[in-house]
Amino acid sequence: MLAALESVFEIIAEPNRRAILSLLVSSQRSVGEIECQLRMSQPTVSKHLRVLREAGFVESTVDAQRRLYRLKPEPLREVEAWLAPFRRLWSAHVDALERYLDRMDTSPPKKRKKKKR
Amino acid sequence: MLAALESVFEIIAEPNRRAILSLLVSSQRSVGEIECQLRMSQPTVSKHLRVLREAGFVESTVDAQRRLYRLKPEPLREVEAWLAPFRRLWSAHVDALERYLDRMDTSPPKKRKKKKR
DNA sequence: GCGGAATATGCCTGTCAAGGTATATACTAC
DNA sequence: GTAGTATATACCTTGACAGGCATATTCCGC
């Protein structure tokens, strides 16, 4: 579980890790809080947190025996950056190429912002 | 390779699949073109395309013996949607203040020993 | 019909991640 | 010191996916 896992996309491919990240949006949490809210075993939470920490998704501070984890933005911005070129697919403005491709579309109509077919 | 793979995040966790998607941004392509440009074997390309098609990332039209694949927007919008709540992490003016408030959000730490491990 | 080109699929195998259990570590309170 | 709490790590097993190779399918031209 704590192996290579180089790419940020592989990190967020795991549903429990996404759940942890989403939980941390509202505020930082201790391992026990995450364990309780997401109904995962404590070692599982710790292992996922380790993966997330080593990938830069979260950081922790020590508070007595507890460790408080909170989000770090950088890796998710990588995802955002990769996603950027695809936004033209659903942006309101439809350029020439997309209109061309839409004309070739043989599948049943779907909700599109702009014209097609 | 052609198993469940339910979530869109698991689909885009595979580097070759991300490469295929990125390649299709500029225009639709045949399997042979993808195979050539990305230097993958033909069965590998076809299998990845099948995964992408079944997940709704791409669709294909038949052109003689060829099949032309092009992007479909919906699944990537799911990624975009999941990412949305995290944008507050890097929207400039809230950053420092909200992260400070996050720490106050839970029960106040007692004597804090600094930093991560 | 036949042969060839383009793509899809089946089978097999190596690899690796995810989780469980048990244990280790770190810290607090007494 | 001891006991208790919170978290991390080691070891192991299971399962799934990615890719290679061989083969099947589909379509074209002749």
Q: Point out the residue nearest to D5 (C-alpha to C1').
A: A65
The answer to whether the Cβ–Cβ distance between B112 and A62 falls below 8 Å is yes
Provide the CA B12 distance to its chain's centre, in angstroms: 4
pLDDT tens per residue across span B78-97: 999 999 999 988 886 565 66
Chain-chain contact of A68 with B109 (C-beta, under 8 angstroms): yes
Multiple choice CATH, A8-72, 3.20.20.60, 3.30.460.80, 1.10.10.10, 1.10.10.60: 1.10.10.10
Whether B71 has its CB under 8 Å from any CB of chain A: the answer is yes
Distance A46 CA to C26 C1' (A): 15
The pLDDT of residue A91 = 81
Quick one: CA dihedral B14, B17, B18, B19, positive or negative? positive
What is the C-alpha to C-alpha distance for residues B29 and B58, in angstroms, rounded to an integer? 11
B105 contacts A28? CB cut-off 8 A: yes
Pair A42, A66: CB distance under 8 Å: no
Find the Å distance, CA of residue B60 to C1' of nucleotide D27: 16
Which of B2 and A84 is assigned the larger pLDDT? Answer: A84
pLDDT in tens for each of the 117 residues of chain A?
Answer: 444 667 999 999 999 999 999 999 999 999 999 999 999 999 999 999 999 999 999 999 999 999 999 999 999 999 999 999 999 888 865 555 555 555 444 333 333 222 222
- ipTM, two decimals, is 0.83
**Directed axis angle between helix A42-54 and helix A15-26, to 10°?**
80
Length A2 CA → C12 C1' (Å): 28
Each domain of chain A, given as residue ranges in start order, spans 8-72, 85-117
